[in-house]
Structure 1
Amino acid sequence: MSKYDRSNATFGGYAVALGIVVAVVVAMALVVNGRQKEHIPSVDYRIDLASFSEEAPYPVYAPEGLPEGWVPTSSRLETGEEEGGPVTWTLGFATPEDRHAAFSMSNAPAETFITEKTLGGEPDGRSQVGGQTWERYYNEDESERSLVREEDGATIVVAGSSDYAELETLAGSLQRSEGER
């Protein structure tokens, strides 16, 4: 009698095929799992900060020492189109709670700047941050919260989809820049 048994040959082929399929599925799962971690692109805002310090006719503030998890995602510097026009800097962040917060500073007319940066928010009380009083604004339709303070001819707005605690963290990190006037 022959040692060849067709049922054993079929089972062996199935086992090899199944092993290959399982290896491919495991490899795909590892690749997909590795890509699930969100990568938030970060921007280097130092050039805008240096230009802002040179252009702004008022003391310039910038965030320093934010806790881990704050990622700068955008920086926009707007200088006045005509001589003596407003100088505005906006620096956006992804927060540790996966929300958005932005710091903006300008010497544009305060009422207009506040309305623009708070998205038309309504007064919502006050916050004490680092010995400074910040006015709170809230836009219910956009779920946008803001902290506002006026100082030395400029208006500072910290705003975003974050809760007030995260906005207060950003506001508390603002320090007068080295290139201050």
Structure 2
Amino acid sequence: MSEQAGRYQRSAAGMVGAMVVLVVVVIGFVLFRDLNRNDPPSPVRTVDYAQSAEYAREQARFDVLSPDTLPEGWRATSARYVPGENASWHLGLLTGEGRYVGLEQSASSVDAMVEQHVDPDAVEGDPVDVDGRAWSTFSDSGGDLALVLGTGETTTLVVGHEVPEEALADFAARLR
């Protein structure tokens, strides 16, 4: 018997073999975890905006607009009416591609609404015809585009982030 402690023989082939086993175990774990993972549902909930719109119509001193139907794949995510001297109506939506679209109405001026919901330095573009009415367009460098209609003392603004003008015009045409 030898007095020295036992030692295993180290070799390059043994090290490569151990690395291969380790990589196979890691890949197996990743695949197992991927197959058994449950992605959490979207934290953004869909709301029924019809009740909020009806309440706003009863309370507001302006004609509250909301769509009868939403475009295919769109969903409402927020709806609120804020009463008072500066009453306002808001409807927030997500498109089928997950892009934000907002409908804002109040007695604020067009300039104030654009500054608040688009950008203080928004650029006015060419008007867009929606059901025979000319809506002004405003955009910013961040990808926001808004269609704005000032009627009497009420300003209606439809704003989208990286949403095509045609989609915003289609949504604006659904407002009643």
TM-score, with structure 1 as normaliser? 0.71
Of residues 38, 43, 49 in structure 1, which corresponds to 2:53? 49
- Equivalent residue for 1:59? 63
Tell me, what secondary structure is at the counterpart of 1:149?
strand
2:43 and 2:156 map into 1 onto residues whose CA distance is: 29
Unaligned runs of 5+ in 2: 1-27
Deviates more, 1:63-72 or 1:40-49: 40-49
1:164 alignment partner AA: E
| Bigger Rg over Cα | 2
How many aligned positions are there? Answer: 149
1:138 equivalent to 2:139? Answer: yes
CA shift in 2, pair 1:168/1:69, >3 Å: same
Question: Any conservation in 2 of the 1:76–1:89 contact (CA below 8 Å)?
Answer: yes
- Equivalent residue for 1:4? none
- Equivalent residue for 1:170? 171
Deviation at 1:25, TM superposition (A): 7.5
Higher strand share: 1
Deviation at 1:28, TM superposition (A): 4.6
Question: Any conservation in 2 of the 1:58–1:152 contact (CA below 8 Å)?
Answer: no
1:88 equivalent to 2:88? Answer: yes
1:109 and 1:125 map into 2 onto residues whose CA distance is: 19
- Equivalent residue for 1:100? 100
CA shift in 2, pair 1:105/1:151, >3 Å: same
Tell me, what secondary structure is at the counterpart of 2:126?
strand
Tell me, what secondary structure is at the counterpart of 1:63?
coil
TM-score, with structure 2 as normaliser? 0.73
Deviates more, 1:155-164 or 1:56-65: 56-65
1:68 and 1:50 map into 2 onto residues whose CA distance is: 23
Percent sequence identity over aligned pairs: 24
